[in-house]
A and B are shown apart, each in its own frame.
Chain A
Amino acid sequence: MDLKQIKQIIDLMKRSELTEFAVEEEGFKLKIRRGHNGLPLITSSGGTVPPYPVVSEASVAAPPASAVAGAAAAPAGGGEKEEPGIVYIKAPMVGTFYRAPSPESPPYVELNAKVAENAVVCIIEAMKIMNEIQAEVKGTVLEILVENGQPVEYGQRLFKVKQG
């Protein structure tokens, strides 16, 4: 895959609602995920990083000027319109997201589950401690926005909930 193709993929992602893209070729792996603020998070591997800007060009979200324009147009919620009655349960810490307290247990919530404010909806593991995360909102889970075992950052949207 060359730089031009990677740039095309980034463009495609920005213009669409695609949240994640991964490709694997011989000796090269590329994964691009939409960060919670709308900027793509890119990790790639395939040998050592050359000190020259080849890989880094692809991994830069956008040149600062256009990134500012993008942020000015879209609030920190990631560029999507805030729909009425919809709230997001966001990660209050940095760590790894798990849907259940252990691999053998059932997930805390499934799609369309009804949650109360103090319901535990997931675990975020940080530094070997499993932290139970409460919903802090009352409603119905419309979407689960992250995968089991995925690293999450502070403020990252985890669940889309219809209030009520």
Chain B
Amino acid sequence: MIQKILIANRGEIALRIVRACRELGIKTLAVYSEADVQSLHVQLADEAICIGGPKSADSYLRAERIISAAEIADVDAIHPGYGFLSENAKFAEQCESCNIKFIGPKAQSIKIMGDKAVARETVRKAGVPTVPGSDGPVDSEAAAVKIARKIGYPIIIKAVSGGGGRGMRIAHNDVSFAKEYHIARSEAEKAFNDSSVYIEKYIQGPRHIEFQILADSHGKVMHLGERDCSVQRRHQKLIEESPSPFLTSDLRKRMGKAAIRAAESAEYESAGTIEFIVDAKGEFYFIEMNTRIQVEHPVTEEVTGLDLIKEQIRIAAGEKINFDQKDVEFRGHAIECRINAEDPTRNFTPSPGTIGLYYAPGGHGVRVDSHIYSGYTIPPYYDSLISKLIAHGDNRKMALERMYRALSEYLVRGIKTTIPLHKAILSDPVFIAGKATTAYLEEFLSRTPPDLF
């Protein structure tokens, strides 16, 4: 029985987990850095323990301090959120060996899907289409060039230990390949402590469509529909929606089945996401699996009515998922805008600082997942996500209009935010027509005067 959960994260997701625990009658322990003393979730949790200095490396990434806090506070489980240690197999193993339940998949599943080359190979064996590429990490520049020529340019060089859109370089010919290859390897070494890279055919202007997976420890694996996350800036998602305006019901069925096969190939448990890219002809390819709850999970929650954090906790407690694939219903259309503390008129420079007047939108079909409040000072040590605004409507048109209405009401004074950028995208005919691919945002920015934000 899970009676107390340690939340090994911060910001909006930590608040999200506190809320789910409250509703389940589970006690919460927030671990926090010295920079997060005033964080909303730290104030709302039942207990709080400081685990280090402001930098993530001194606090949220200090596995031993987190487990120590878990032990002195006698917790039953740890929810790692997303980022930080959520996809760290070693941390999952440490929890296990200390008899603390890690709310997520088994360490082995994290290992399989964490190595991007191994992940591709594993799902390929399960009959899931993957992008043509090297069948593992490339040993040398010479070998890499050979494969690149065989697949055909353009190709993308990816860090084996990368993820979340980081550690990727694109090459269009032999000449740029040499340069990009070496940059990719040194970037990978710096960011992930692992310079191994693999290469894939670069599919131009694809759509990024991912499927939400939910699996229990009794063998049940299902998908909860897709999210179209094609609106990205430098591989960071800005807007996500469900259902995808591009998928036909036949393609959805085939991709859903493939997603389940991919999750099964890693013996997956808990919530996870299978990412695909889909080209203009509807050919889809597995990219990677995210073995954690994702930022954009509310989009799926709004169209299915399910609470994914609660489901994760129940699964971690050993319960069976009490519904089947055929019971999952999709209602209406949902869209999420990730609002960052960045200045879109100044090349998205981060804008930390103290929030003055704050008014969040509301009303029917509007959801705000955010930890910020009037008087809160955004610390400069972490990512710039300050709020997730989600709108739901009976159909896509209604959802978009509702999102625009909500963005127009949203007041965040004292810092710069990307709210004006989202309003501009929501008014753009290409986006409204559902034609956005991953090439969309750069194209939109290039033709939009900066003073529109």
Interface set of A (CB-CB < 8 Å, partner B): 35-37, 39, 41-43, 48-51, 53, 55-56, 59-65, 67-69, 71, 76, 93-96, 126-127, 151, 153-156
CA distance A55 to B45 in the complex (A): 11
Mark interface residues in B315-351 (1 if CB within 8 Å of A CB, else 0): 0000000000000000000000000000000000000
User: Among the listed A41, A49, A61, which residue makes an inter-chain contact with B43, where contact means beta carbons less than 8 Å apart?
Assistant: A61
Give 16 new A-B contacts, CB below 8 A, not counting A64-B40, A127-B71.
A35-B48, A36-B50, A49-B27, A51-B22, A56-B44, A60-B44, A62-B43, A64-B373, A68-B377, A126-B68, A151-B49, A153-B51, A154-B51, A155-B34, A155-B52, A156-B50
State whether A49 touches B25 (Cβ < 8 A).
yes
User: Among the listed A37, A43, A49, A151, which residue makes an inter-chain contact with B37, where contact means beta carbons less than 8 Å apart?
Assistant: A37
State whether B65 touches A76 (Cβ < 8 A).
no
State whether B46 touches A68 (Cβ < 8 A).
no
User: Closest A-chain residue to B35, C-beta based?
Assistant: A76
User: Closest A-chain residue to B354, C-beta based?
Assistant: A68
Q: A95-B68, A127-B98 are in contact. Are A68 and B38 (CB under 8 A)?
A: yes
Interface set of B (CB-CB < 8 Å, partner A): 3, 22-27, 34, 37-38, 40, 43-44, 46-53, 59, 64-69, 71-73, 98, 373-377
State whether A51 touches B51 (Cβ < 8 A).
no
State whether A76 touches B34 (Cβ < 8 A).
yes
CA distance A152 to B48 in the complex (A): 11
CA distance A94 to B68 in the complex (A): 6
State whether A95 touches B72 (Cβ < 8 A).
yes
Closest 4 CB pairs of A and B: A151-B72, A51-B25, A94-B68, A126-B68
State whether A153 touches B49 (Cβ < 8 A).
yes
CA distance A94 to B373 in the complex (A): 29
Point out the residues of chain B lying under 8 angstroms from A41, CB to CB: 47-48
* Dominant secondary structure of chain A at its interface with chain B: loop
Point out the residues of chain B lying under 8 angstroms from A96, CB to CB: 72
State whether B23 touches A71 (Cβ < 8 A).
no
| Nearest chain A CB to B250 CB, angstrom units | 43
Point out the residues of chain A lying under 8 angstroms from B43, CB to CB: 60-64, 67
Q: A48-B25, A62-B43, A127-B71 are in contact. Are A154 and B37 (CB under 8 A)?
A: no
User: Among the listed B22, B47, B72, B98, which residue makes an inter-chain contact with A94, where contact means beta carbons less than 8 Å apart?
Assistant: B72
Point out the residues of chain A lying under 8 angstroms from B65, CB to CB: 93-94, 126, 154
CA distance A162 to B19 in the complex (A): 45
State whether A68 touches B34 (Cβ < 8 A).
no
23 contacting pairs across A/B (C-beta < 8 A): A36-B50, A41-B47, A42-B47, A43-B47, A50-B25, A51-B24, A51-B25, A55-B46, A60-B43, A67-B38, A68-B377, A71-B37, A93-B64, A93-B65, A93-B68, A94-B50, A127-B64, A127-B98, A151-B49, A153-B49, A153-B50, A154-B34, A155-B34
| Nearest chain B CB to A130 CB, angstrom units | 13
User: Among the listed A51, A95, A127, A154, which residue makes an inter-chain contact with B50, where contact means beta carbons less than 8 Å apart?
Assistant: A154
Point out the residues of chain B lying under 8 angstroms from A36, CB to CB: 50
Point out the residues of chain B lying under 8 angstroms from A50, CB to CB: 25
Q: A56-B46, A64-B43, A151-B72 are in contact. Are A127 and B24 (CB under 8 A)?
A: no
State whether A94 touches B27 (Cβ < 8 A).
no
